[in-house]
Amino acid sequence: MKFTMPKKIMGILIMALAIVAVIPTMASAHCDTMDGPVILDTKRAIEENNSSYILKWVLPEDEQEIKDAFELNMKVRVLGPDAQKLADDYLYNRLVRVHRAGEGAPFTGVKPEGTPMEEAIIAADKSIEAGNLSAFEGLIDEERMHGLEERFEKILATKDFDVNDVEAGREYVEAYVQFTHYAEGDQHEEGNANEHAEAVDHASEGQSDEQASAEESEVTHEKESVEVEKSSIWIPWSLAGLFLLTTVVAHFRRHKH
């Protein structure tokens, strides 16, 4: 017999996702898009009912959280088409949020299919598929090609892993993230930032202790502000998760009796 989700439960589930929707969005790496590798692996995990496809995208300490979210998703999906879509969207957002947090990056929502991606990212994925770096011809400076080749070698050495070997999968993900970030220019920008920091250090050698102390306090304050901003992102997600979890538990209890 086909089950139709009660309107009241649907309303609460929609409210939970509505909380998620109010989080501001902005452009970021393609791991947070519907066309990206994280979501593609999530779809494969759901299709084969195997969470190992997605556990490699999170840190070991976050593994249980994603396992629980995946099990909840598989239970809710059987309630009907509407429940299936809501459950899948919730899992997508939950996984990407945890993955981004593991990289030390803020989560700003999962971007829709067709979201424009940088040429370097497209070239990176094509290179992995083809097994060579021809897609980067004319796209990357010659001086950075050696660094790209080194990271690509690690990709080739780790990509053929057993899907159920999560640790091996994490090695590949680490290589993949380093490769794509370098392709985007993150490593180059980091180097420039370090050079800038060294220049500032040399320039401030002649400053008084009071000036140095004041600057150190200002930097500390800025870091604390960033941490507060990052932590505030978790609040709406916690509320959304609470709404969804209590709704599902209440639903199963009613049907149990």
The residue extents of the domains of the chain are 7-115+233-256, 119-204
| pTM score, whole prediction | 0.64
Collapsed DSSP state (helix, strand, coil) of residue 85:
helix
Query: What is residue 30's predicted lDDT score, i.e. its pLDDT?
Result: 79
Residue entry with tokens 């538990």: 249
Collapsed DSSP state (helix, strand, coil) of residue 143:
helix
Between helices 234-256 and 209-232, what is the axis angle to 10°? Answer: 30
Tell which residue, 58, 189, 183, has the closest CA to residue 128: 183
What are the pLDDT tens digits along the chain (257 aa)?
Answer: 444 555 555 555 555 554 444 443 333 457 899 999 999 999 999 999 999 999 999 999 999 999 999 999 999 999 999 999 999 999 999 999 999 999 898 999 999 999 998 999 999 999 999 999 999 998 988 899 999 999 999 999 999 999 999 999 999 999 999 999 999 886 444 443 344 334 334 434 444 454 445 445 444 444 444 344 444 444 444 445 555 555 554 555 565 55
Query: What is residue 10's predicted lDDT score, i.e. its pLDDT?
Result: 55
